[in-house]
Structure 1
Amino acid sequence: MRTSVEIKTSSWKQKNDYTIAQAVLDAFKWNWNTINNSIYVQVMNGQVTLTGKLEWHYQKEAATRAVNNLIGVKEVVNNISVDSKLIIPINKKNIKRALKNHVALDYASIVIAIYKNDIILKGTVDSFYQKELAEKITWKTPGVRNVKNNLKVIHEPIEK
């Protein structure tokens, strides 16, 4: 899964790639959620590409957040993989309960498939917001290594 955030900067904020790379490494040192010796950084024309392996999805998200506001960064491509060493049995009921407890989701139309520690979400939701929300909630389940979001957005016409 490729996560990309593009940021436009004015000309006075231009930095060379080496300076940006140093700023990224410094940002990782200050961010306790990232493990900086597990992340490799490449900068080309202001595009920061992150690779490596981390144990938790929140660490991957924290890596993007740590660098996307740095001066000179035009785009962040997060190719970090999540590879938890812990194999925690995932209980489908816990995921369903978490989805059910969120008022913005119609959990009944979401089907959850589990293969080892990978989760596949299928079914339908009413909006892209709900699709993204279901994925975020699923990622918070302990032991999840990967989430494939195959939810389809179906817009129901409003009857007058």
Structure 2
Amino acid sequence: MNTKELYLKTIFCCIACDGDIANEEVELIRNMASTSNTFDDLEVEELLNEWIAEINENGARFLQSYLSDLGEAKLSNQEQLMIADLAIQSIEADNRIEYSEVKFFKKIRSRLSIGDEAILKEHPDKEDLLLPDIQTNDKLDWDTDTHFAKISLKEIKKFD
């Protein structure tokens, strides 16, 4: 998996980890795909829908697989900061921060080697995301009844 794909998968996992993909979260991806080169050379919609099928089938194992990929990735400090930034943007996109999202961010954070200071320099008001209030073991809580619809970046769909 290349770094740009890892960036997109970070966003996807962060928007899906609470069991709901909000329209605002899809809009975040749409805006990034159209206004920056973050996802150049990627078939964004195709990848998202592939991941939806995988997460619908595998649930928490899909999220765990992402965390494993992240832990094995050889990322520069700047790339790790980008992962943290994309995760934070994704978590905040729907203006509703769920504990499952905070917990997932902490799991992401535990796989990055950069210091908290670097993240706080970019996001000084996000100290609560870095506080060690939970264990970051690999077990993920996941509602097995959670299923997502396909994502279209051309129009906003209402998700179940």
TM-score range, shorter chain: under 0.3
Q: Which has the higher contact order (CA 8 A, sep 6+)?
A: 2
The TM-score, its normalising length taken from structure 1, stands at: 0.24
Larger fraction in strand: 1
What's the TM-score, normalizing by structure 2? Answer: 0.24
